[in-house]
Amino acid sequence: MKEALPDRIGKYPILRELGRGATSVVYLGRDTFAERDVAIKVIRSRANGDANIERRYQRVFLNEATLAGKLVHPHILAIHDAVTEDDTSYIVMEYVDGHTLEHYSEPDNLLPIPKVTEIIFKCSLALAYAQRHGVIHCDIKPANILIKEDTHIKISDFGAAQYDAAQHTQLKGIGSPAYMSPEQIQDQELSHQTDIYSLGVVMYQLLTGKLPHMASNRGSLLYQAVNIEPNPPSTYRKDLPPELERVVMRTLKKKLDERYATWAEFSRDLTLAYRNLELPAEVLSDTEKFDAIRALSFFKDFGDQEVWEILRLTAWRKFPAEQMVIREGDSGDYFSVIHAGEASVSKAGRLLNTLRMGDCFGEMLYFETPNTRRVTTITAATPLSVVEVKSEDLNRASDALQKQINKAFLRILIDRLTWANSRLSAN
Dihedral angle sign, alpha carbons of residues 299, 302, 304, 307: negative
Strand partners, 197: none
Secondary structure element (H or E) that encloses residue 206, with its range: helix 192-208
* Rg, the chain, Cα only: 25
8 Å CB contact between 113 and 244: yes
DSSP assignment, residue 291?
A: H
Helix (H, G, I), strand (E, B) or coil at 146: strand
State the Cα–Cα distance between residues 175 and 107, nearest whole angstrom: 24
Residue 139 annotated in active site? yes
Catalytic residue among 139, 269, 291, 359: 139
Helix (H, G, I), strand (E, B) or coil at 27: strand
State the Cα–Cα distance between residues 274 and 113, nearest whole angstrom: 9
Strand partners, 100: 146
With b for 16 or more beta-carbon neighbours within 10 A and e for fewer, the 155-183 pattern comes to bbbbbbbbbeebeeeebeebbeebbbbbb
Task: Give catalytic residues, as residue numbers.
Answer: 139
